[in-house]
Amino acid sequence: MAGQAPFAWLAEEAHRRTAAGLHRALVPRAADRDVLDLASNDYLGLARDPRVVEAGVTALRTWGAGSTGSRLVTGSTQLHAELEAELAAFLAAPRALVFSSGYAANLGALSALSGPGALVVSDAGNHASIVDACRVSRARVAVVGHRDVAAVRAALAARSEPRALVVTDSVFSVDGDLAPLAGLHAACRDYGALLVVDEAHGLGVRGPGGRGLVHEAGLSGAADVVRTVTLSKSLGSQGGAVVAAEAVVEHLVDVARTFIFDTGLAPPAAGAALGALRVLRAEPERAALVRDRATRLAASIEAAPPTSAIVSVILGEPGRAVRAAQECLAYGVHVGCFRPPSVPAGTSRLRLTARATLSDADIARAFAVLDAVLGAEPAAGGDAVGVARDAALQTRDTVRAAR
């Protein structure tokens, strides 16, 4: 309408989000804060590992702060090639191609491998990067029920398109549950489809030595399986990659827009990721450690046993989840807070992420604060917090008294 302020609608939208408990704000964290981190995706505790930091610093001094251009111009260094080769070898795949983020890897891979005249079958619980990739692919998209292999088969059987791919997270980022990869791959084989698996939350956590759920399922050598990974979670750095057959990688170099037109991953991030990968190769027990810590963390608050590093505590309405997260932080424990659109309405929650380097005292501290904030009863038997149980209960009582 003539004379109307062009951004008047933003205030209305902001008011609506605030009323629904969906307003978000940036809260910068200090480098030296005394807070127990159960919110980040630093599953293996490598983001501040001195070996990883030094690898990033060495790359910074050698190659500079930025890659200076797209991968096809000046943005591919010998360091990028080294990272790609070692990542592919670790995951028992022919090739790996590094992108500037896991988000860019998903957008690039899915759009380049589908397109008009193709069908994409996507799990309803997939990450937003997969959802967005489906939207920009210009393929027909069929969203199927969460972990529903029968629905995938039905969608593939009914298709008229000559090409199809099925896409899923390996470990779903909200609940931490696992994709039924064996069933999905069998369906793809039966109907001539490609299986694309996002291992963002699987790399470093599942599989022997942290090689991911695809490797655990025995599918690493399958030519009809494409993996995307992120370097910003278990590897504690930044960036993403597509891990696939030679022909797939060559196709992405020619076609994937988020590879062709995006500035290459900064060398310090590539160096840190490579350093973290080498630590994981040298210390494969870290993958089992993070799963153990997640199990103990869940047991301490009587949550369902996890199958990954993620422990989800559903609270219901957004306001309740926000208040609980803020109160936990006030008592020194930082937990994730997930609200719509990240989760369905009515399922707002705290998301706790375990880390391989969590100590008995850390788990006791987490239990103490979460018990005080949420009013949970101690887990039976006491094994989950071990010898630190008494200290945890004392800390809990101190927190309650201060409220």
The strand pair at 225-230 and 194-198 is best described as: parallel
**H or E stretch at 195:** strand 194-198
The reported pLDDT for the residue numbered 385 is 37
Residue 165 and residue 194 in contact, taking contact as beta carbons nearer than 8 Å:
yes
Q: Is the dihedral of CA 125, 235, 85, 73 positive or negative?
A: positive
The reported pLDDT for the residue numbered 29 is 86
In sequence order, the β-bridge partners of residue 200 are none
Tell the residue number behind the tokens 């470990």, with chain if given. 171
Q: Tens-digit pLDDT profile for the chain (403 aa)?
A: 566 788 889 999 999 999 988 898 888 888 888 899 999 999 999 999 999 999 999 999 999 999 999 999 999 999 999 999 999 999 999 999 999 999 999 999 999 999 999 999 999 999 999 999 999 999 999 999 999 999 999 999 999 999 999 999 999 999 999 999 999 999 999 999 999 999 999 999 999 999 999 999 999 989 999 999 999 999 999 999 999 999 999 999 999 999 999 999 999 999 999 999 999 999 999 999 999 999 999 998 888 899 999 999 999 999 999 999 999 999 999 999 999 988 999 999 999 999 999 999 999 999 999 999 987 433 333 443 344 445 445 555 554 555 4
The reported pLDDT for the residue numbered 383 is 45
User: What kind of fold does domain 285-402 have according to CATH?
Assistant: Aspartate Aminotransferase, domain 1 (3.90.1150)
Helix axes 360-374, 285-300, angle to 10 degrees: 30
**H or E stretch at 314:** strand 310-316
How far apart CA 251 and CA 108 sit, in angstroms, is 11
Pick the CATH number of 50-282 from 3.40.50.720, 3.40.630.10, 3.40.50.300, 3.40.640.10: 3.40.640.10
Task: Give pTM, 2 decimals.
Answer: 0.90
Residue 310 one-letter amino acid: I
How far apart CA 54 and CA 72 sit, in angstroms, is 28
How far apart CA 394 and CA 368 sit, in angstroms, is 8
In 227-359, where does DSSP find H-type helix? 246-255, 257-260, 267-282, 285-300, 318-330
How far apart CA 369 and CA 323 sit, in angstroms, is 14
Domain ranges of the chain: 50-282, 285-402
